[in-house]
Chain A
Amino acid sequence: MFMAIDVTTGWETVIGLEVHAQITTDTKMYCSCPSVNSTELTEANRYVCPVCLGHPGTLPRPNRQAVVRALTLALKLGSQINERSVFARKNYFYPDLPKGYQISQYDLPLAEGGELPYWHNNAKHTARLVRIHLEEDTARLFHLDDGTAVLDYNRGGVPLIEIVSQPDFHDPAECVAYLDELRGLLQRLRVSEAAMESGNMRCEPNISVRPRGSTELRTKTEIKNLNSFATLRRAVEAEAQRQIELYESGQTVHQATMRYDEARGITVPMRVKETADDYRYFDDPDIPPLVITKRLLDSAGEDVRASIFELRQMMAEEDGISHEMAATIADDRILHRFYRLCCKDGHDNREVAKWVTGELVRLLREKPLRTEPGELSKVLGKLKSNELTLPQARDVFETIYLTGKTCEAVVQEKQYSGADAIPLEQVCREVIAANPQIVADIQAGKTNAVQVLVGAVMKKTRGGADPQSTRQLLLRLLNAG
């Protein structure tokens, strides 16, 4: 376990995250070629033109739609939007970069600062952001078995948004929680499809370690090409371990770009990089500074609202939940996150929507959230497999929410077992046998007294029985008796 390393060695890991996501737009960042999602299988080099192939004499033209979408995210994260931001050239040679430079942003990015709250280990964390900027994707390079390489420029020039966090993370699990939250936000705002598995959202962690208790920032390394949360977690652990071992054996860590070797479970350097200035950044003379006008901001603000509206429509039409519930869920970040993740776990949309708008909304009014959607998902799983009855499930979730305990722990503690496992009829008979006076009253016509027996059954089954059916069963047994 990662935490074990920290505790035993006295080293603390410091992680910052750079996230790249392809912005959902009709055309590429600097030309009018269709911007195709990298998961779509298309003929290689189909969506290319002289501009995105870097032909001599061509010029870039920034995509307004990409700017608006990026602004939408910046507004939502509370970032400071630079009224005037500048496109800069990042110069390096590689075949996937047709111009020999990538048009990105450097000194003056689109937006700076902002924060993203997220939940991890039942506690609220806030990730502080450094900057949000626009850039273009590179082409795809495929190495063939015969040693040659082929290029597909369809992806070259697709708009990217880069979101850089402060080095605020100390544990890969925290990174994953943050990334998951960011992914949900990008999707909800329709800024990006943000699917890591298809490569339209990528994450590059930068890692350093320091003696526990110290506040210094030591030399960091960067890991590239991570394509899942699981890989990210293992890669960060391996890299932190490598650095700790270096320091403990009296060596130092050099700034480098690393690659994670999945098979061997270790990180290996890709290339040594002296400083970031090797890229010889300078303002791109082909693009005048981007001035954020009120009109652009209004469109972005409109998009924030519109994306929520669209989301409601979609949930109502595609998920089949009521418009009212859809509206409640879409408008709230927490509700939507619970809804999205539980549905993703395979639970019925309408069932999840009921829980989220019912139980969760009620509990949120009582106490601030400290529970992960995964816990609700587990409760729903147990309900579905009849390990819990509906009232038990409600009780378990409430306890989880209020105490911060896990689903397993609460079920264990309450010794709940599912309705099917309880021989309800036997319990009822026992209760009837133990309460002759009440039975006599009922049989004398005081039918309301049956509630006392119901209560006794509930007590005996620790709430596992359904009160309605218990009542009917009791009455039937008494009549029969």
Chain B
Amino acid sequence: MRELLVKPGHELLDLIEQGEIDHAELQEAQYQFARGIDERVNAFISWDEEVEHQEWRLPMVDQDLPRQFHRLPYAAKDIFTTKGLQTTAGSRILKGYVPPYDASCVSHLRHAKNHLMGKTNLDEFAMGSSGEMSAYGVTRNPWDFDYVPGGSSSGSAVAVAACQSVMALGTDTGGSVRQPASFCGIVGYRPTYGMISRYGLIAYSSSCDQAGIFARDTLDVALTMNTVSKPDERDSTCQATGDIDFYTDTQRDVHWNKLRVGVIKPLMDSARIDAPVLTNFQASLKAMTDAGAEIVELDFPLVDYYLAAYYIIVCAECSSNLARYDGIRYGIVSDDEDLLARYRSVRSRGFGAEVKRRILLGTYVLSAGYYDAYYDRARQLRRDVREQLEAMFTKVDVLATPTSPVLPFKIGEHIQDPVQMYLSDLCTVFINLAGTGGINIPNGFGERDGAKLPTGIQFVCAPFRDNLLLRIGHQFEQLTGWKYQPPQWVLDELNA
């Protein structure tokens, strides 16, 4: 059974449906394997220890529904609330917090009889791009343990890459699904804002946060979307209709010779993009051109500004979103008698350095006298980014950029230099500002100090054209003959 764990979910589902394998056995094998290798990568914070899986007793999925992510093992970033299972957001402040309710998408997956194996590691409250900012230890890149897996959904990316899980949920506020997917060599998709309910997703920056999906290929992403992209009246910003069959739609043909692919000139500049990343990106473009696609070069005048605007907005929102962690109703507590001393004690001990930095920055930019100079201008810039992207989509069907401007970096390399770390979000954050969707598809490897590390291409769609985006992602995989191959040590373990 173990050797099957490298397969994408839709293939496993075929085997289950054909009666070739038993889903309970598959889940057991997956669970044992994941736990067995986790001390090497530290992808998980907690495991669902439940022996009798409640999910399996639920009624069958409605047969009239389009194909679902169904009866398969999956993992969720430890920022989705799970009823009865500790949820920490990677922070000490929530150590021991057991939510009284399930996040909407977790609940949908549960009802489709999938087994949640556990909760994956992340940069604290999703703030970070390397997986080093967790209160529960550093997560390691399965391609080379000295390198970071990217972040903030580090554990989810690693879990899928190291065959610890078929699929994993992550969140993407500035690239936190696409960048670690790129660093770990798997598919990572962030839908258009509103396509998946945010209810039960612990907020970092509410206007940029969006749940996303890690998988071995785009078809698995589509399969998962059929299960989790549903309307939700508990989230006023949710715009999912639930009436798109992503799985069928993704397999429809893309006529490359009718497709206009936009490339953003400043994001192909060797001053900004590492050479191996750029080389692989050019090769991907060539593959599409050879298939008949038209490449359209576009300018993006805001490229030097949007990163600053992004950090102002997310810090402002996080300073407010994280105010609720006061040690009164949940999480760690303090014995101090004085109220202020309590707040101080809980928040000083509970939050890590990066979270404190962002709360302070956010409080500052919202303060009297600074609001107009920072927050208000950032909001204006956000509107401008939206307009410039809108203009681009009148000329092209989809945008393509490198997902990360750099190859994975070494653990500890940027830890003292937050600005350098923020710069690694250059290619991903603008879509969060614009509220649109993006996907990382692996497109090769690059070498750094003797290490072989994955790279990825990012496709970006106009808002709510997600079905087109997935179709293009799927077709791109066909074009390059993509099939997920894990690192050798994982293969060895699977076949051991």
Contact = CB atoms under 8 A, between A and B. Distances in A.
Contacts of A60: 236
- Which of A100, A285, A288 gathers the greatest number of chain B CB atoms within 10 Å? A285
A125 B462 CA distance: 57
Given A56-B94, A57-B99, 20 more contacts: A53-B329, A55-B81, A55-B101, A56-B81, A56-B87, A56-B324, A57-B203, A60-B236, A61-B236, A95-B339, A98-B328, A101-B323, A274-B368, A280-B320, A282-B317, A285-B237, A286-B236, A287-B236, A288-B236, A288-B237
A56 B97 contact: yes
Given A54-B329, A59-B235, A91 B320 contact: yes
Contact of B320 (A98, A101, A287): A101
Interface string B52-89: 00000000000000000000000000001100000101
Contacts of A101: 320, 323
A61 B320 contact: no
Contacts of A50: 99-101
Interface in A145-183: 147, 151
Q: Which 5 A/B pairs are nearest by Cβ-Cβ distance?
A: A100-B323, A277-B368, A285-B207, A285-B206, A280-B366
Given A275-B368, A277-B367, A282-B320, A56 B99 contact: yes
B183 interface: no
Interface in A74-131: 89, 91, 93, 95, 98-101
A98 B89 CA distance: 19
B316 interface: yes
A60 B199 CA distance: 9
Contacts of B330: 55-56
Contacts of B198: 59
A58 interface: yes
A93 B359 CA distance: 14
Contacts of A282: 316-317, 320, 366, 371, 375
Contacts of A99: 323-324
A100 B325 CA distance: 8
Contacts of B337: 147
Nearest to B125: A56
A61 B337 CA distance: 35
Interface in B146-201: 198-201
B325 to A, nearest CB: 8
Interface string A44-69: 00000010011111111110000000
A278 interface: yes
Given A50-B100, A286-B236, A277 B371 contact: yes
A59 B233 CA distance: 10
B100 A93 contact: no
Given A95-B326, A277-B367, A282-B375, A100 B320 contact: yes
A93 B326 CA distance: 8
Interface size class of A (residues with CB under 8 A): 20 to 34
Nearest to A96: B328
Interface in B340-365: 343, 363
Interface residues of B, number: 46
Contacts of B264: none
Nearest to B337: A147
Nearest to B313: A285
Interface in A212-241: none
B255 interface: no
B259 interface: no
Contacts of A288: 236-237
Contact of A100 (B87, B99, B324): B324
Interface string B205-243: 111000000000000000000000000011111000000
Contacts of B234: 59, 61
A291 B87 CA distance: 36
B339 A57 contact: no
A286 B103 contact: no
A181 to B, nearest CB: 36
B202 interface: yes
Interface in B301-324: 316-317, 319-320, 322-324
Nearest to B343: A93
A98 B329 contact: yes
Given A275-B368, A288-B237, A55 B99 contact: yes
- Which of A50, A59, A60 gathers the greatest number of chain B CB atoms within 10 Å? A59
Contact of A59 (B236, B316, B326, B368): B236
B463 to A, nearest CB: 14
Contacts of B101: 50, 55, 58
Contact of B233 (A61, A98, A277): A61
B380 to A, nearest CB: 13
B206 A98 contact: no
Contacts of B233: 61
A57 B320 contact: no
Contacts of A277: 367-369, 371
A54 B324 contact: yes
Nearest to A281: B366
A280 B366 CA distance: 5
Contacts of B199: 57-59
B368 A100 contact: no
A280 B103 CA distance: 29
Contacts of A98: 324, 328-329
A57 B236 contact: no
A50 B234 CA distance: 12
B320 A89 contact: yes
- Which of B97, B324, B366, B368 gathers the greatest number of chain A CB atoms within 10 Å? B324
A245 B363 CA distance: 38
Contacts of B366: 91, 280, 282
Nearest to B365: A280
Contacts of A286: 203, 206, 236-237
A285 to B, nearest CB: 4
A59 to B, nearest CB: 5
A56 B89 contact: yes
Interface string A237-257: 000000000000000000000
Nearest to A284: B206
Nearest to A99: B324
B328 A95 contact: yes
Contacts of B94: 56
A57 B363 contact: no
A199 B100 CA distance: 31
A457 to B, nearest CB: 77
A280 B363 contact: yes
7 contacts: A56-B94, A59-B234, A89-B320, A98-B328, A277-B368, A282-B320, A286-B236
A79 to B, nearest CB: 25
Interface in B366-407: 366-369, 371, 375
A99 B80 CA distance: 18
A282 B363 CA distance: 11
Contacts of A91: 319-320, 323, 366
A59 B206 CA distance: 10
Nearest to A277: B368
A274 B367 CA distance: 12
B200 A57 contact: yes
Contacts of A61: 233-236
Given A91-B320, A95-B326, A285-B317, A57 B237 contact: no
Contacts of B200: 57-58
A18 to B, nearest CB: 20
Nearest to A286: B206
A286 B234 CA distance: 11
Nearest to B330: A55
Contacts of A58: 101, 199-200
A50 B101 CA distance: 8
Interface in A17-53: 50, 53
A101 to B, nearest CB: 5
